[in-house]
């Protein structure tokens, strides 16, 4: 097997301390619709802030333009811009290259159009491409390479409408229509922004009639200047996974990617290690089976686990499965409440942890290959819900209705897994956070760094402070509070908010030894009510950016 190159540059920290001086800027969270603030670090050029201003007073027209602000490394505003998405369109995803941001917008209904905005990182000037595609397509994946944005769309069945209407009016047609296998339309659109007028080329996906297409992953392959697609083709009789490569002009033939029999891929991510080799990480689950008995037997088995695979020159050189039950140090379970007096695990907790393994997912960071091992960094999370009883009017009468409400994704903590070059697990370890980050986004909440003594330091933002823990193969160091995040004033009461609408309580690399800490805070004055009324700024909810230096 060819030698696997290092995927991402690691930073060796001889010792980590934080400078006491903090540069900080605050924004009124009420000024952004829903508290939506998005930050995009651009190295020594500063940081770009994007948000949708809150609507104007009741009865007046609402502002629909997104506001862009460019801040330098000291948070001084150096530029401002705005752009207006089509009416009824919402932000789906933002990707970035060296010079631009690309924001994808699609409508909440009537999926016929979409809009991609190109935002120049230097001038904040924008250009837009508005595309159209056949009915029933929905946006699924996005990547950018060389100023070309690749958009993945999936679709439901799209039969010939006149034929369908004619068929429904003739009962004799029901029998042949029962055996009808529709062709599912799915595609990748390559929108080229490199020219003055953006152009688009479409690539059809799919494996024939009766097969739905699902995107498992879309990742750019810098070494080949191509985009890797990992697709799942789902039919009544079979489900198969294929790997394809594409650029702005061509799409290569599909290559089959398999797990062992009896297992299906739930999620997956592709990492290119050199021009010919790829490592694929993901989760597997048991195949449900065709008959009721087979589905029942599959449900009794262990819910699944992780897999790691090496694809060398288009062929799988190995694929290894790691069941959740084999984890010794980081078990898939809900962290225990440290304030709970009874330390024993109740039957209810056991049941909750068992069901958790069926819905758990992972956000993976770039892998690190050092000497003879592959290091995998992951953040496990699971969806959370609650029920509400609402009053609704049915036939003119008020009645109650119980609905299930999605609360967001709860992150369990951080974990590290080490594999040898044949995919065998050497060790795994990590730590959990009680009542961890809750977000509607599954993007990264932790930062991982390699230390001089071969440990992996994890830095994270929680409860108004920056913390760290270092993970080794046989131990995890105690949590260390590196610094408290200061506010601009001397308010004594500061509460961190778990907003599920923005990336809150996060840390992100900026430039040199500097990092961004960001999040939502509710600041309340301890002054008496009559004094507090004089200065309303003492009581506010803000979105903050803190510049933090990590010194070697």
Query: Smallest Cα–Cα separation from 540: which of 24, 22, 31, 57?
Result: 31
pLDDT > 90: percent of the chain: 37
Record the tokens describing residue 112, joined without a space. Answer: 């016929």
Residues 6+ apart with CB under 8 A from 464: 484, 485, 494, 495, 496, 521
pLDDT at residue 109 tops 80: no
d(CA 508, CA 185): 38
Residues 6+ apart with CB under 8 A from 277: 1, 2, 4, 310, 311, 312, 313
CB 458 within 8 A of CB 468: yes
d(CA 284, CA 345): 27
Cα 356 off chain centre by: 19
Q: How confident is the model at residue 60 (pLDDT cuts 50, 70, 90)?
A: very low
SS3 112: coil
Q: Averaged over 514-519, what is the pLDDT?
A: 85
- What domain count does the chain have? 1
Q: How confident is the model at residue 206 (pLDDT cuts 50, 70, 90)?
A: low
Q: Which string of DSSP letters, residue by residue, matches 538-550? A: GSEEEEEEEEEEE
Q: Averaged over 464-488, what is the pLDDT?
A: 84
Q: Which string of DSSP letters, residue by residue, matches 154-211? A: EE-B---HHHHHHHHT-GGGHHHHHT--PBBPEEEEEEE-SSSS-EEEEEEE--SBT-
Q: How confident is the model at residue 278 (pLDDT cuts 50, 70, 90)?
A: very high
Measured at the CA of 130, the angle between CA 125 and CA 134, to 5 degrees, comes to 160
3-state percent breakdown (helix, strand, coil) of the chain, nearest 5: 10, 55, 35
Query: Smallest Cα–Cα separation from 50: which of 98, 103, 89?
Result: 103
Please tell me the pTM assigned to this model. Answer: 0.82
**Surface-to-core class of residue 268, CB atoms within 10 Å of its CB (0-12 exposed, 13-18 middle, 19+ buried):** buried
SS3 9: coil
- Residue 387 falls inside a structural domain: yes
Record the tokens describing residue 14, joined without a space. Answer: 């001889």
- Residue 35 falls inside a structural domain: no
Q: Which domain holds residue 468?
A: 337-484
CB 306 within 8 A of CB 284: yes
Query: Smallest Cα–Cα separation from 40: which of 86, 107, 103?
Result: 103
Within 10 Å of residue 274's Cβ, how many Cβ atoms?
14
19-59 pLDDT, tens digit each: 335 688 989 888 888 778 889 999 999 999 999 888 653 44
255-271 pLDDT, tens digit each: 989 887 778 898 999 99
Q: Which has more pLDDT, 360 or 539?
A: 360
Average pLDDT, the chain: 80
pLDDT at residue 90 tops 60: yes
- Residue 548 falls inside a structural domain: no
CB 419 within 8 A of CB 374: yes
- Residue 54 falls inside a structural domain: no
CA dihedral 511, 513, 519, 522 (to 10 degrees): -130
Q: Which string of DSSP letters, residue by residue, matches 228-277? A: EEEEEEE-SS-EEEEEEEE-SS-BPPPEEE---TTEEEEEEEEEE-SSSE
CB 25 within 8 A of CB 550: no
CB 504 within 8 A of CB 519: yes
- Residue 441 falls inside a structural domain: yes
pLDDT, residue 159, reads: 46
d(CA 230, CA 138): 18
CB 413 within 8 A of CB 473: no
Residues 6+ apart with CB under 8 A from 451: 12, 13, 457, 470
Q: Averaged over 106-126, what is the pLDDT?
A: 88
Residue bearing tokens 């952004």: 32
d(CA 219, CA 215): 11
Query: Smallest Cα–Cα separation from 360: which of 426, 440, 282?
Result: 282
Record the tokens describing residue 423, joined without a space. Answer: 């995919």
Q: What element of type H or E holds 462?
A: strand 456-462
- Residue 378 falls inside a structural domain: yes
Residue bearing tokens 């609507």: 55
d(CA 152, CA 139): 6
- Residue 359 falls inside a structural domain: yes
SS3 235: coil
Q: Averaged over 88-116, what is the pLDDT?
A: 88
* Strand pairing category for 493-497 and 465-471: unpaired
Residues 6+ apart with CB under 8 A from 110: none
Q: How confident is the model at residue 176 (pLDDT cuts 50, 70, 90)?
A: low
CA dihedral 154, 156, 157, 161 (to 10 degrees): -100
- Residue 127 falls inside a structural domain: no
pLDDT, residue 8, reads: 37
Query: Smallest Cα–Cα separation from 327: which of 447, 446, 413?
Result: 413
Query: Smallest Cα–Cα separation from 438: which of 512, 361, 499, 514?
Result: 499
Q: What residues pair up with 449 in beta bridges, in sequence order?
A: 457
pLDDT, residue 495, reads: 61
Q: Averaged over 414-435, what is the pLDDT?
A: 93
Q: How many residues does this entry show for the chain? A: 552
d(CA 520, CA 455): 31
d(CA 126, CA 48): 14
């Amino acid at each position: 097997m060819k030698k696997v190159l290092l995927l991402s540059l690691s930073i060796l920290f001889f010792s980590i301390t934080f400078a006491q001086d903090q540069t900080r800027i605050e924004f009124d969270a009420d000024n952004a619709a829903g508290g939506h603030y998005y930050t995009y670090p651009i190295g020594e050029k500063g940081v770009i802030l994007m948000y949708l201003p809150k609507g104007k007073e009741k009865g007046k027209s609402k502002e629909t333009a997104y506001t862009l602000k460019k801040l330098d490394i000291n948070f001084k505003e150096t530029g401002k811009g705005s752009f207006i998405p089509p009416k009824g369109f919402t932000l789906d995803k933002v990707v970035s290259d060296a010079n631009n941001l690309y924001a994808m917008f699609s409508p909440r209904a009537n999926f016929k159009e979409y809009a991609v905005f190109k935002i120049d990182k230097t001038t904040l000037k924008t250009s837009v491409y508005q595309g159209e595609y056949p009915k029933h397509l929905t946006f699924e994946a996005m990547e950018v390479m060389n100023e070309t944005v690749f958009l993945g769309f999936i679709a439901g069945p799209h039969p010939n409408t006149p034929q369908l209407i004619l068929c429904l009016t003739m009962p004799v047609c029901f029998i042949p229509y029962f055996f009808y296998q529709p062709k599912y339309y799915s595609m990748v659109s390559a929108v080229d922004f490199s020219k003055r007028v953006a152009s688009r080329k479409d690539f059809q996906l799919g494996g024939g009639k009766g097969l739905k297409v699902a995107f498992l992953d879309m990742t750019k392959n810098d070494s080949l200047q191509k985009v890797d697609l990992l697709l799942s083709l789902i039919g009544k009789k079979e489900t198969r996974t294929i790997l394809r490569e594409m650029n702005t002009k061509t799409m290569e033939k599909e290559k089959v990617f398999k797990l062992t029999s009896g297992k299906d891929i739930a999620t997956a991510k592709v990492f290119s290690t050199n021009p010919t080799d790829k490592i694929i990480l993901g989760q597997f689950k048991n195949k449900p089976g065709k008959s009721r008995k087979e589905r029942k037997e599959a449900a009794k088995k262990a819910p699944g686990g992780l897999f790691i695979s090496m694809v060398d020159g288009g062929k799988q050189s190995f694929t290894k499965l790691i069941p959740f039950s084999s984890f010794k140090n980081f078990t898939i379970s809900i962290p225990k409440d440290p304030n709970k007096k009874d330390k024993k695990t109740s039957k209810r907790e056991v049941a909750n942890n068992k069901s958790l393994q069926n819905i758990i997912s992972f956000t993976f960071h770039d892998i690190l290959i050092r000497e003879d091992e592959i290091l995998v960094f992951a953040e496990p999370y699971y969806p959370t819900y609650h029920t509400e009883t609402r009053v609704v009017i049915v036939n003119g009468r008020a009645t109650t209705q119980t609905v299930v409400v999605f609360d967001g994704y709860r992150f369990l903590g951080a974990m590290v897994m080490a594999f040898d070059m044949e995919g065998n697990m050497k060790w795994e370890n990590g730590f959990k956070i009680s009542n961890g980050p809750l977000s509607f986004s599954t993007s990264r909440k932790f930062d991982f760094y390699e230390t001089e003594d071969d440990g992996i330091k994890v830095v994270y933002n929680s409860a108004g402070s920056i913390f760290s823990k270092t993970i080794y193969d046989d131990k995890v160091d105690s949590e260390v509070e590196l610094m408290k995040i200061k506010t601009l004033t001397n308010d004594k009461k500061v509460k961190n908010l778990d907003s599920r609408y923005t990336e809150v309580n996060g840390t992100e690399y900026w430039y040199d030894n500097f990092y961004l800490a960001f999040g939502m805070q509710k600041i309340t004055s301890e002054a008496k009510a009559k004094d507090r009324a004089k200065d309303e700024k003492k009581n506010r909810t803000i979105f903050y950016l803190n510049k933090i230096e990590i010194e070697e």
